[in-house]
């Protein structure tokens, strides 16, 4: 791991985010389903519907990565990915693992990994390493701690937690009632684009910069969606799948 330049807290820091889980639910093909209906019922497993799991599930880790780095735009990213364990037609065309390194203008490097492979350990941990201390955030356990490098606990969140979905709805509805127009659209779009950028880099095997990703003309789905036949897109092969 490398130490990079200053973070939003004025510390030299590096960032490491992980979202590891098993595969999501699958729906075996029924004889009376068309291709389109079958893919829609298995939307998690088709990139044109889900954006692949880096954008559909692990985007929450990338949200926190974007927040921790001050909601800045990375200048480029390098990524690895593939499908090592997915089996069966209902697994669609998505990958089961990604690793992405985001690079920032000041030299900061941030790392994200995600996977969906059964019978492997699950993890939803975020780490920020600074010169004087490091922080761990894990929403599943839950853990929200800051420790010195010799292990001393400096801070731990001990306030109310509540349900995360209810919390966000409370903020949203409160803003409507108060007319304050709580709008997370800009940073949500930025972190979503970071997820898509990482997916593109993994699919193609190329180092991509932000402008390339933002101006991509990639189309993953059918030109004209219709209720009927729809071939499964071949799974991308890094080094062979071109950037569009």
DSSP state, residue 140 = T
pLDDT at 109 over 60: yes
The percentage of the chain sitting over the pLDDT mark of 70, rounded to a whole number, equals 95
55-87 pLDDT, tens per residue?
A: 999 999 999 999 999 999 999 999 999 999 999
Q: For residue 75, what are the contacts with CB-CB under 8 A and spacing of at least 6?
A: 103, 104, 105, 209, 210
Write the CB contacts of 136 (distance below 8 Å, at least 6 apart in sequence).
125, 126, 127, 143, 144, 145, 147
In this model, does residue 9 exceed pLDDT 60? Answer: no
Buried b (16+ CB within 10 A) or exposed e, 136-160: ebeeeeeebebeeeeeeeeeeeeee
Query: Is it the case that residue 8 has pLDDT exceeding 50?
Result: no
Q: CA nearest 61: which of 114, 116, 22, 100?
A: 114
pLDDT grade for 7, boundaries at 50, 70 and 90: very low
Question: Strands across the sheet with 76-82, in order?
Answer: 153-156, 143-148, 133-138, 125-129, 14-21, 109-116, 97-103, 76-82, 208-209
pLDDT of residue 3: 35
Burial (0-12, 13-18, 19+ Cβ within 10 Å), 133: buried
**Residue 57 main-chain phi, psi, to 5 deg:** -110, -55
Percentage of residues in the chain having pLDDT higher than 90 = 82
Task: Return d(Cα 16, Cα 134) in angstroms, integer.
Answer: 11
121-134: average pLDDT:
93
pLDDT at position 2 over 60: no
Q: With 90 as the cut, is the pLDDT of residue 173 above it?
A: yes
5 pLDDT above the threshold of 50: no
pLDDT at 233 over 80: yes
pTM for the full predicted model: 0.90
Q: What is the domain partition of the chain in residue ranges?
A: 14-214
Residue ranges with strand state E in the chain: 14-21, 76-82, 97-103, 109-116, 125-129, 133-138, 143-148, 153-156, 208-209
Q: What number is the average pLDDT over the span 168-182? A: 92
pLDDT band at 162 (very low <50, low <70, confident <90, very high): confident
Tell me the average pLDDT across 30-55. 97
Query: Does the pLDDT of residue 171 top 70, yes or no?
Result: yes
pLDDT tens, residue by residue, 176-210: 999 998 888 899 999 999 999 999 999 999 999 99
Say what the pLDDT of residue 100 is. 98
* pLDDT at residue number 12: 56
Dist CA 130 CA 200 (whole Å): 30
Determine the Cα–Cα distance for residues 234 and 243; give it in Å rounded to an integer. 15
Tell me the CATH class for 14-214: alpha beta
């Amino acid at each position: 791991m490398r130490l990079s330049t200053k973070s939003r807290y004025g510390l030299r820091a590096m960032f490491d985010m992980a979202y590891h889980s098993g595969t999501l639910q699958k729906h075996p093909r029924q004889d009376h389903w068309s291709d389109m209906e079958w893919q829609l019922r298995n939307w998690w497993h088709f990139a044109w519907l889900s954006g692949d799991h880096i954008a559909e599930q692990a985007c929450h880790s990338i949200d926190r990565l974007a927040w921790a780095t001050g909601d800045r735009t990375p200048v480029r990213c390098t990524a690895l990915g593939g499908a090592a364990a997915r089996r069966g037609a209902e697994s669609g065309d998505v990958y089961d693992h990604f690793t992405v390194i985001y690079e920032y203008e000041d030299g900061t490097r941030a790392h994200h990994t995600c996977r969906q492979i059964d019978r492997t350990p699950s993890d939803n941990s975020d780490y920020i390493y600074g010169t004087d201390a490091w922080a761990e955030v894990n929403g599943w356990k839950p853990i929200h701690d800051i420790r010195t490098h010799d292990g001393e606990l400096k801070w731990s969140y001990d306030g109310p937690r509540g349900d995360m979905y209810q919390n966000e709805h409370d903020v949203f509805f409160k803003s409507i009632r108060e007319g304050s127009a709580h709008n997370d659209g800009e940073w949500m779009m930025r972190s979503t684009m970071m997820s898509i950028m990482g997916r593109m880099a993994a699919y193609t095997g190329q180092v991509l910069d932000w402008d390339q990703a933002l101006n991509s003309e990639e189309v993953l789905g059918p030109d004209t969606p219709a209720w009927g036949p729809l071939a499964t897109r071949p799974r991308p092969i890094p080094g062979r799948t071109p950037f569009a």
